[in-house]
Amino acid sequence: MLTLFAAETEEVINPILPEIPEMFWGGLMFALLYVLMRYVLLPPVERTMEERDQALRADWDAAKAAEAKVAGADAELADALAPAKAEAAATIEKARVEAEAERDQIISGAQAEIDAMRQMATSQIEAARAEAMGGVGSQVAELTAQATSKVIDRPVSATDAQGIVNRIMSERS
């Protein structure tokens, strides 16, 4: 039983709670690591970050300056092109007016030619009609005289019938 009592009196060690020597060495290592980080390792990182920030600012300023330069060049180009654009527009307008005048001239010439051809065709038609009517008139007069003679049983001369045919043809024309 004595062994039971002895086991109960032994102190149980908690593995979570640190001991004093561990705390000392842990604190010392933390202090050394802090000093190492603060004075040895962090300054170059901060310096690199500052240099990078300055480089970014310089690039940003250079981009803004280049953008302003491009805007100025665009304005210069627009100013330089304005007279050329105006001249091109004037040339195009002049060419359009000339082309329209030439078109009107060609159309009026063609219209005059058409009118002359129409007049000539009309006069030819009238001449052919008069000739046809003249040739047909005598034949119609003869046929009329013969038909009338048969209808009325009396002789009718072609000259009498010619007068009547001419009068009827002149009324229809």
8-state DSSP, 63: H
Residue 173 has pLDDT above 70, yes or no: no
92 against 11, higher pLDDT: 92
pLDDT in tens, 50-77: 999 999 999 999 999 999 999 999 999 8
Cα-to-chain-centroid distance, residue 126: 57
Helix locations, 10-157, DSSP H: 20-36, 42-152
79 against 137, higher pLDDT: 79
Q: Which residue is listed with tokens 């802090």?
A: 34
* Residue from 132, 154, 134, 136 nearest 145 by CA: 154
Residue 5 has pLDDT above 70, yes or no: no
Q: What does the angle CA 160 – CA 163 – CA 166 come to, to the nearest 5 degrees? A: 145
Residue 11 phi/psi, 5-degree rounding, is: -85, 135
pLDDT in tens, 117-138: 999 999 999 888 777 776 777 7
